[in-house]
Structure 1
Amino acid sequence: MLKLFKTFSDCWCGATFAGDSKKKALPVRRVAAIESSPQRISLSNFSNSTTPLTPEDLSLSLAGSDLHIFSMEELKAITRGFSTSNFIGSGGFGPVYRGSVDEKLRPGLKPQSVAVKLLDLEGSQGHREWLAEVIFLGQLKHQNLVKLIGYSYEEKHRLLVYEYMSKGSLENHLFKSVFVSLPWLTRLKIAVGAAKGLAFLHEADKPVIYRDFKASNILLDEDYNAKLSDFGLAKDGPEGDETHVTTRVMGTRGYAAPEYIMTGHLTAKSDVYSFGVVLLELLTGRCSVDKNRPNREQNLVGWAKHYLFNPNKVDRIMDPRLDGQYSTKGAQMAAKIAYQCLCHSPKSRPDMKAVVEALEPLLDLKDIPMGPFVYTVVTENGGGEVREKVQKNEESSERKEMGEVKESGKRKFVGHRHKIKFSQSCVQSDTALYKVYRSNTPRKLTPPEK
């Protein structure tokens, strides 16, 4: 396992930044500049231009990508006219609807469910954020980035078409009471996947700073594979002798790095800090900022950092919904990684490649207690019903009678079987998940797609 730092004392020292060089504007002639370079197109190719971007400009510039250009009418058809029955949710960008596509709509399109996002012109994000999504996700391909299938650009209409992520966002699973608590190995799997996504962005030929890494932007597929979404605030990283990018402070409170908030200086280490916050959320089950808690516990980092560096105190901050069903060694190491990511000095934080190398082996640890074993029956409508819950740990290896009650001459045994209904069919035991992930999760990093 990679050793990230020699001591913990490096983490909370004062931060200093050197160098304040600014990027030079790229040529206004967009298409000519792009055709002469094999490198990824930068967002600045468009945003620094003094001429309006036309749909033709965008289409020509991304001619080498596999993006499909849809008409507004086509997207209306696949979402049933953006009906309420197809509505998934909404955010700063606008509403999102579910739809389906196949080769009848476009040759080469495999049959699949999609998510169609509409830009709300009166929302908090605008054309620049929409364009950033198209530019970045149209060119960057990786198993831990959500796939952009296509877009629509007609008059005032701006739409994006993504692969559908059936398990929704990490935020919903961690903080919404209607969702069953995620088991330990699932949380680790999500952390590793999200870390790989960030590492891919930071190590690209032209680095990308995500700038808005948070639980709501981590989407999960059917197998709980994590994928980064919402690249509206992403920025091209520093190049050459530059040490950082200077930009207007944007992002989400509770996740942004302190030096970015204070100076507007943005680096890949800013994303590392945000990852540390999300890793802390996975460990504790608490939101980065929670005004419903006592004053000293409202800011997650401020409350938890005193426990992270002491292995004997980590259990005090672990999510109680895990009910002790987690690897003690894994939790202690994950807490150590979170602590290092949250260092006040950006220079003292690890890079995301080092984080991946430190996190991934934790999936193989065997010291997970044998907990309650839950059987799930999937119904036709996608719901689930827990039929049995039988205690399997050593203390209850011998069946104990909880009591006998006589009613009408019949005997009933209490406490042995339960019947509990859940709205989702994702209830599983950590023991079962361990067996699946232990055998299927590779220890080596998967080379990023180029």
Structure 2
Amino acid sequence: MMPDGQEIAVKRLSEGSKQGLRELKNELLLVAKLQHRNLVKLIGACLNGEDKLLVYEYIPKKSLDAFIFDDEKRGKLAWDTRYKIICGIARGLVYLHDESRIKVIHRDLKPSNILLEMDMNPKISDFGLASIFEGDHTKHITRRVAGTYGYMAPEYAVLGHVSTKSDVFSFGMIILEIVTGRRNSVSSETMMAEHLLTYVWENWTKGTKAEIVDPSLHYNYSAENEVLKCVHIGLLCVQENPGDRPGMSNVILMLVGKSTTLPAPSRPAFLFRLNDENHAHGGLNNLLDGSNKSNSSVNKLTITELEPR
């Protein structure tokens, strides 16, 4: 807490972490230039001496994953609140990609990096892996593919190609998690479970769209079209070809537009059924054969470059 009574959150670098220091400096340089109601606000920083830290505004409601992956909390998360969170994340990304003085690709968008205020306004956080781009420029990362498997676009995970459409893919995964209440990745205890994209796509194509929606989510008939529209948008965002994914400015128009006709989605990327552990891992490993591989996992681990912390 500050002397004036303001509550703060401190992000402190672990001792001896060279990679962490680089990410902390990167985060400081970027966030200091970004101001938006859907981005976490930087208050101060200290990179001198032994203590290296960033000081942020305190966000009291924790992160999105603490709500959508907790059975009790998720059951209390009404559709209006979920829709507000989806739209808020989208507006934050529009600012990063199109509206800010510097154009930024986040590269590690996931529910644990979405913080929630008391009124459930979402704020995108953790810009340690973010990168600046110019125009429609797509970078080719050969040495350092970093992010969280399950939210990484296939062209980035496999080839190291990163663009704003990489963030769009991550956003699509988050939409589907918010609507379904399911994680997009699995742990060793749930290897028999069905992969989220497979589950959503099969129900979408079979016409059993209501099965996609979180059973704990109670909404009236008037909201049904809005719920299913969000599923539709989520599927468009996770298309395998980045050129088939909408930009975030178009995503906002789709979300808030009343009469927008949406294109039909194609089969999403990373679509497979988890029958056993070998098959579960095989989906990604087959894509990586012959490409620059990264250490990855089907759980919640984050992929970073191989350098001691």
Q: What's the TM-score once normalised by structure 2's chain length? A: 0.76
- Separation in 2, partners of 1:231, 1:183: 29
Instruction: Map 1:314-329 to 2 at 5 A.
Output: 314-323=209-218, 325=220, 327-329=223-225
Deviating above 6 A after TM superposition, structure 1's stretches of 4 or more consecutive aligned residues are none
Q: Structure 2 vs 1, CA of residues 245 and 202 (structure 1 numbering), >3 Å: closer, same or farther? A: farther
Q: CA-to-partner distance for each residue in 1:360-400, whole Å, 9 max, x for gaps?
A: 347xxxxxxxxxxxxxxxxxxxxxxxxxxxxxxxxxxxxxx
Aligned to 2:243: 347
Distance 1:199 1:336 in 2: 19
- The amino acid of 1:186's aligned partner reads T
Distance 1:198 1:328 in 2: 25
Looking at structure 1, the residues matched to 89 and 196 of structure 2 have their Cα atoms a distance apart, in angstroms, of 20
Q: How far apart, CA to CA, are the structure 2 residues paired with 1:350 and 1:174?
A: 25
**Alpha-carbon spacing, 1:132–1:189, altered in 2? closer, same or farther (3 Å):** same
Distance 2:65 2:210 in 1: 22
Distance 1:133 1:323, change over 3 A: same
* SS of match in other structure, 1:222: coil
- The one-letter code matched in structure 2 to 1:282 is I
Q: How does 1:49-64 map to 2 (within 5 A)?
A: none
Q: Deviations over 1:87-145 (max 9, x none)?
A: xxxxxxxxxxxx2342xxxxxxxx52111121113669511111111111111111110
- Per the alignment, residue 5 of structure 1 pairs with none
| CA-to-aligned-CA distance 1:399-419 (integer Å, 9 cap, x gap) | xxxxxxxxxxxxxxxxxxxxx
**In the alignment, structure 1 residue 214 sits paired with structure 2 residue 110:** yes
* Percentage of pairs with the same residue: 42
Which residue in 2 is equivalent to 1:244? 139
User: Contact (CA 8 Å) 1:101, 1:113: kept in 2 or not?
Assistant: no
Unaligned runs of 5+ in 2: 259-309
Q: Does the aligned pair in 1 maintain the 2:78–2:219 contact within 8 Å? A: no
Partner-residue secondary structure (3-state), 1:219: strand
Structure 1 residues 293 and 328 mapped into 2: Cα distance closer, same or farther (>3 Å)? farther
Work out the CA distance in 2 between the residues paired with 1:200 and 1:207. 8
Structure holding more helix per residue: 2
C-alpha separation in 1, matches of 2:148 and 2:84? 24
Task: Give, in whole Å, the separation in 1 of the partners of 2:47 and 2:7.
Answer: 21
Q: Corresponding residue for 2:231?
A: 335
The secondary structure found in structure 2 opposite 1:154 is: coil
Show CA shifts across 1:23-56 (max 9, x none).
Answer: xxxxxxxxxxxxxxxxxxxxxxxxxxxxxxxxxx
Structure 1 portions without partners, runs of 5+: 1-98, 103-110, 363-450
Quote the RMSD (CA, aligned, Å): 2.1
1:202 deviation in Å? 0.6
> Matches of residues 131-210 of structure 1 in structure 2 within 5 Å?
131-177=25-71, 179=73, 181=75, 182-203=77-98, 204-210=100-106
Partner residue, 1:295:
192
Contact 2:168 2:247 in 1 (8 A): yes
Using structure 1 for the length normalisation, give the TM-score.
0.53
Once residues 174 and 241 of structure 1 are traced to their aligned partners in structure 2, the CA distance between those partners, rounded to angstroms, is 33
Distance 1:315 1:193, change over 3 A: same
Give deviations 1:279-307, integer Å, cap 9, x for gaps: 0000100111123435351x322332233
Match of 1:46 in 2: none
- Report the number of matched residues: 253
What are the Cα deviations for residues 251-285 of structure 1, in whole angstroms up to 9, with x where unaligned? 01110001101100100000000000000000100
More strand by share: 1
SS in 1 for 2:7: strand
Change (3 A) 1:209 1:143: same
- Picking from 173, 179, 182, the partner of 1:283 is 179
